Homo-oligomer: A and B are copies of this chain.
Amino acid sequence: MPHTDAVNVAQKFSMFEDHWHPRLIARVNDTDVKITKLQGEFHWHQHDNEDELFFVIKGRLLMQFRDRDVWLEPGELIVVPRGVEHKPVAPEEVHLLLVEPSGTLNTGNVVNERTIAELEWI
Which residues of A line the B interface, CB within 8 A?
1-2, 4-10, 25-31, 33, 50-53, 55, 65, 67, 70-73, 75-82, 84, 99-101
Complex: A65 Cα to B4 Cα, angstroms: 10
Q: Please tell me if the beta carbons of B75 and A4 are within 8 angstroms of each other in the complex.
A: no
Q: A24 to chain B: closest CB distance in Å? A: 12
If A51-B29, A81-B4 touch, whether A9 touches B76 (CB-CB below 8 Å) is yes
**A-side interface mostly:** strand
If A65-B1, A67-B1 touch, whether A99 touches B6 (CB-CB below 8 Å) is no
Complex: A59 Cα to B18 Cα, angstroms: 31
* Copies assembled: 2
Question: What are 19 A-B contacts defined by CB distance under 8 Å?
Answer: A2-B84, A4-B65, A4-B70, A4-B84, A5-B78, A9-B55, A10-B75, A26-B53, A26-B77, A28-B50, A28-B53, A28-B79, A28-B100, A29-B51, A29-B82, A29-B100, A30-B30, A31-B101, A33-B53
The 3 closest A-B pairs by CB, nearest first: A31-B31, A2-B81, A28-B51
- Among A10, A27, A29, A30, the one with the most B-chain Cβ atoms within 10 Å of its Cβ is A29
Residue in B closest to A10 when the chains form the complex, CB atoms: B75
